[in-house]
């Protein structure tokens, strides 16, 4: 194993323990797992979807936008709701530029493009699925959703590490289990989000996106009374 990979593992684990929902955690761990066979298998899985293949061949990255641009769309639209969420969290829509640079990124392989596109649409997926952007159980739910949809080892590993973290944060156990279960259920039921051109249709209402993508509403996931968890 290269020293660079070891540094990425160490950096990712450090940020995971100290700042589990940070961009640094996601980038470092994702890069560290690139050479694993499971990562190649996940690309094969994602490329079974013709819509994903089309975006991949085009190397679609969408048009640049700002939070202010998004807030100009009608209330209830994907653009507006994403803008509200990003403004609340102080997020940069183009956070990935820290890794890829300010120019339009180029990709030497389908795997590189898909890794970028998953990062680029991560916050969009949060808005559509309803998983909280800031709390750890919500992020694990989002990663469980992503694992079900993409089979990326990064998402699988993050869910696993998150479950281990509960040993240190036992109060998070009920909500974490609930969010992870919900994420897997929604991910397997929904159409692939990775094949969508969200940036071309910011004005479409979030609820319409959810219906068309077959995102399962939480009330339809029946839980026994003894495992009900307050949001």
Domain boundaries, the chain: 1-32, 38-227
**Using CA atoms, how far apart are residues 47 and 64, in angstroms rounded to an integer?**
25
Q: Which is more confidently placed, 119 or 96? A: 119
Question: What pLDDT is stored for residue 27 in this prediction?
Answer: 59
First to last CA, the chain: 42
Q: In whole angstroms, how far apart are CA 75 and each of 38, 88, 90, 200?
A: 40, 15, 19, 17
Q: For residue 205, what are the β-bridge partners?
A: 77
Model confidence pLDDT, tens digit, residues 18-58:
555 555 566 556 666 566 677 799 999 999 999 999 999 99
What band does 82 get if pLDDT is binned at 50, 70 and 90?
very high
What band does 91 get if pLDDT is binned at 50, 70 and 90?
confident
Q: In whole angstroms, how far apart are CA 37 and each of 45, 151, 192?
A: 12, 12, 22
Pair 229, 180: CB distance under 8 Å = no
Average pLDDT value for the chain: 83
**Using CA atoms, how far apart are residues 153 and 158, in angstroms rounded to an integer?**
8
Model confidence pLDDT, tens digit, residues 6-18:
554 455 555 555 5
Model confidence pLDDT, tens digit, residues 173-231:
889 999 999 999 999 999 999 999 999 999 999 999 999 999 976 555 555 555 455 55
């Amino acid at each position: 194993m290269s020293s660079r990979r070891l540094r990425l593992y160490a950096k990712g684990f450090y940020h995971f323990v100290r700042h589990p929902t940070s961009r640094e955690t996601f980038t470092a761990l994702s890069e560290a797992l690139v050479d694993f066979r499971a990562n190649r298998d996940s690309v094969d899985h994602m490329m079974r979807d013709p819509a994903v293949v089309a975006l991949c061949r085009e190397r679609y990255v969408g048009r640049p936008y700002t939070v202010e641009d998004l807030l100009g769309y009608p209330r209830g639209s994907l653009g507006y709701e994403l803008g509200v969420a990003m403004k609340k969290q102080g997020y940069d829509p183009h956070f990935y530029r820290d890794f890829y640079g300010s120019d339009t990124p180029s990709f030497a392989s389908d795997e590189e493009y898909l890794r970028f596109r998953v990062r680029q649409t991560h916050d969009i997926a949060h808005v559509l699925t309803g998983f909280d952007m800031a709390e750890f159980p919500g992020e694990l739910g989002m990663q469980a959703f992503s694992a079900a949809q993409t089979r990326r080892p990064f998402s699988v590993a993050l869910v696993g590490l998150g479950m281990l973290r509960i040993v240190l944060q036992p109060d998070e156990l009920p909500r974490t289990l609930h969010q992870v279960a919900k994420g897997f259920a929604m991910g397997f039921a929904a159409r692939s989000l990775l094949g969508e051109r969200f940036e071309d249709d910011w004005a479409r209402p979030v609820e319409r996106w959810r219906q068309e993508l077959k995102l399962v509403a939480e009330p339809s996931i029946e839980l026994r009374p003894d495992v009900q968890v307050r949001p």
